[in-house]
Amino acid sequence: MNPTVLELKAVSQAYEKGHPILQGVSLSVPQGSFVSLIGPSGAGKTTLLRLFNGMVWPLSGEVWVEGRRFDTLKGKWRRQVQQQVGMIFQDFCLVEESSCLENVLCGALGRISLWRALWGNFPEREVQKARQALDLVGLGGREDTLAGSLSGGQKQRVAIARTLVQEASVILADEPVASLDPGTGKAILELLRQLQETQGLTVVMNSHNVEQAMAFSQQVVGLRQGRILFQGPADVWDAEKLRGLYRRDS
């Protein structure tokens, strides 16, 4: 079994007092695995992902990233760990008026000075890295194309290339193919799986597409009302467990 790269230990979280979102969640993600979170809207999937990139703090419990206690880290130590964790989103989060290359170079911002970045003066090695990343995601030759003029699938490829330039070891993917047609969505998930298998990346994905989550993941975690109801590989999930996960409270 590979070492654990992401871990929650009895984590609870609330955005407002008296309204718990996550309730005593414990989870460990092995390095180099593909894990999906499924569950009804509002279950806390996005909140759980955000714990791992520091956009959300736990009220209690512990968040561990790459063997380091993350939720109590501050300053540059916190940023070092954040560098390891890339994120991609349903709506891609690109600068539409900038080129593909410039968008991908944003992944290098943690390594270069703000002034160099503001002047667009990126070191040649970073530019090379960004070109290679675009090649790897199938967008070689599109360096100068404006991100805003790309299709949704191409935009998600640029966002993935940005995490590669960030040199992240983990990609958190919050409904990464929810805005794409089925064929394009499948191609993006295949790219993520290819990166997981060939580059040793860990992928944690939120999805409302149960079939896709089952097809692409080694572990599927079912979250309901802020608690893990069930987790396991696709073959141990059955119709009854899925019904329990998505049942409507009357």
Ligand X SMILES: Nc1ncnc2c1ncn2[C@@H]1O[C@H](COP(=O)(O)OP(=O)(O)OP(=O)(O)O)[C@@H](O)[C@H]1O
Q: Which residues bind ligand X (CB under 6 A)?
A: 15, 21, 41-47
Q: How many Å apart are CA 31 and CA 2, to the nearest integer? A: 6
Q: Are strands 4-16 and 60-65 parallel, antiparallel or unpaired?
A: antiparallel
Q: What is the nearest approach in angstroms of ligand X to the Cβ of residue 231?
A: 15
Q: Determine if 209 is a binding residue for Mg ion (CB under 5 A).
A: no
Q: What is the nearest approach in angstroms of Mg ion to the Cβ of residue 46?
A: 3
Q: Which is nearer to Mg ion, 46 or 219 (CB)?
A: 46
Give the pair of three-digit tokens for residue 105.
């170079």
Binding mask 75-94 for Mg ion (x = CB under 5 A): --------------------
What would you report as the CA-atom Rg of the chain, rounded to the nearest whole angstrom? 18
178 within 8 A of 21, measured Cβ to Cβ = no
Give the pair of three-digit tokens for residue 129.
């890295």
* Amino acid identity at 182: P
Q: What is the nearest approach in angstroms of ligand X to the Cβ of residue 15?
A: 3
Q: Determine if 46 is a binding residue for Mg ion (CB under 5 A).
A: yes
DSSP structural state of residue 2: P
HSE-CB of 10 using CA atoms within 13 angstroms: 2
Q: What is the nearest approach in angstroms of ligand X to the Cβ of residue 179?
A: 13
166 binds, among ligand X, Mg ion, none (CB under 5 to 8 A by kind): none
Q: Determine if 47 is a binding residue for Mg ion (CB under 5 A).
A: no
Q: Which residues bind Mg ion (CB under 5 A)?
A: 45-46
